[in-house]
Amino acid sequence: MFVCTVKSSKIKTVLLIVLTAVAVGSLLWFSMNGKPAANDGAITLKAENEEQRLAFISQFGWEVHKDPIEVAEIILPTQFDEVFEKYNEIQKEQNLDLSLYSGKRVKRWTYAVINYPGYENKQDVIQLSLLIYDGTVIGGDVSSTELNGFMHGFDLPETQSATQSSNGLQ
């Protein structure tokens, strides 16, 4: 049998408690910052069902047809090429990061947007895509299917001219 005794003063005990609290606080802070869209809780990322997906979309002011144009299962690449890196830059601007999900199987839900400024009378030209992993939105975009179309994050553009100048992946 082994017995060990330790003498400690009140100062050492308080110091140990403070250091433990700092370590736990740091651990919580780093674990929260590693999660996608740690965006002050203003936007909910839940997308487990149709109601939650449509609620997510409406948070940005979009109106879409209730039924998706397409639902597809995709596997995110383990190594991002130049095009995917540019796409991920759009995600990072939205406080999302697809690199956290590289190699994962995700679902892409694509909806027709009906209230895009300047495109209200053009059916199925503007689409909104959601990338969903484990019932949570991890990425997505709003894009035009026109020949020289555009792509941007979920935020509703302020003016039509700003939208037209954002052609291509940026």
Q: Is 11 left (phi over 0), alpha (psi -120 to 50) or beta?
A: alpha
| Rounded CA separation 76/83 (Å) | 13
Q: Is residue 1 part of a domain?
A: no
Question: Same domain, yes or no, for 79 and 16?
Answer: no
Token look-up 């679902």 returns: 107
Question: Same domain, yes or no, for 16 and 58?
Answer: no
What's the domain range around 13? 9-38
Question: Same domain, yes or no, for 71 and 152?
Answer: yes
Query: For 110-168, what is each residue's pLDDT tens digit?
Result: 999 999 999 988 888 999 999 999 999 999 999 999 999 999 999 998 754 434 444 44
pLDDT of residue 16: 47
Q: Is residue 45 part of a domain?
A: no
Closest of 133, 86, 79 to residue 106, by C-alpha: 133
Q: Is residue 43 part of a domain?
A: no
Number of structural domains (the chain) is 2
Please say whether the beta carbons of 146 and 132 come within 8 A: no
Q: Is residue 148 part of a domain?
A: yes
Question: Same domain, yes or no, for 30 and 109?
Answer: no
**Where is pLDDT greater, at 139 or 32?**
139
Work out the mean pLDDT of the chain and round it to a whole number.
81
Token look-up 């047809």 returns: 65
Question: Same domain, yes or no, for 87 and 138?
Answer: yes
